[in-house]
């Protein structure tokens, strides 16, 4: 059965670099062409900021063309809406990272399975695959 999935930023980075830290079930879901795989604008923002701060020094080509990179992998862009921002800001403070809070809010509102190794996400009632 096809799924609609949202990749956490670290999962996107690991996937694009071929890092085998991505779990086997997560890899299978991402590789399954029947699934719709979304990348949030929040992840693009996070990558751009972390690259600029020197935290992702090997991600030059990705930081220069995030949209192209996700398109080449058949991933779909997920924009951030005003309602997403409101929802993210209203979430309980189990997790304080604003990028992760946005991913949680989008997974909730769009009914997406969030692919992440972050167990703390489970406290928000999202469907998480790892």
- Residues spanned by the domain of 86: 4-129
Whole-model pTM: value is: 0.93
Q: State pLDDT tens for residues 36-66.
A: 999 999 999 999 999 999 999 888 888 889 9
Q: State pLDDT tens for residues 16-41.
A: 999 999 999 999 999 999 999 999 99
What is the overall mean pLDDT for the chain?
Answer: 94
Q: What confidence score (pLDDT) does residue 95 get?
A: 79
The domain that holds 63 is classified in CATH as 3.40.50.1010
pLDDT confidence tier of residue 7, bands split at 50, 70 and 90: very high
- CA 12 centroid distance within chain: 6
Rounded to 5°, the CA angle 66-107-102 comes to: 60
Better pLDDT: 92 or 58: 92
Q: Looking at the 3D structure of the chain, how many domains does it have?
A: 1
Starting at the edge strand that comes first in sequence, how are the strands of the sheet with 76-78 ordered?
Answer: 76-78, 36-40, 4-7, 113-115, 128-129
Q: What confidence score (pLDDT) does residue 71 get?
A: 94
Q: What confidence score (pLDDT) does residue 75 get?
A: 97
State which H helix or E strand residue 128 sits in. strand 128-129
Q: What confidence score (pLDDT) does residue 57 get?
A: 85
């Amino acid at each position: 059965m096809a799924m609609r999935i949202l990749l956490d930023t670290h999962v996107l980075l690991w996937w694009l670099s071929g890092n085998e830290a991505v779990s086997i079930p997560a890899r299978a879901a991402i590789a399954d062409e029947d699934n719709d795989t979304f990348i949030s604008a929040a992840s693009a923002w996070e990558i751009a900021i972390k690259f600029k701060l020197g935290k992702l020094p090997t991600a030059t080509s990705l930081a220069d063309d995030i949209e192209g990179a996700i398109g080449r992998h058949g991933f779909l862009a997920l924009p951030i809406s005003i309602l997403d921002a409101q929802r993210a800001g209203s979430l309980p403070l189990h997790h304080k990272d604003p990028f992760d809070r946005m991913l949680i809010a989008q997974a909730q509102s769009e009914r997406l399975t969030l692919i992440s190794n972050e167990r703390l996400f489970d406290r928000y009632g999202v469907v998480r695959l790892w």
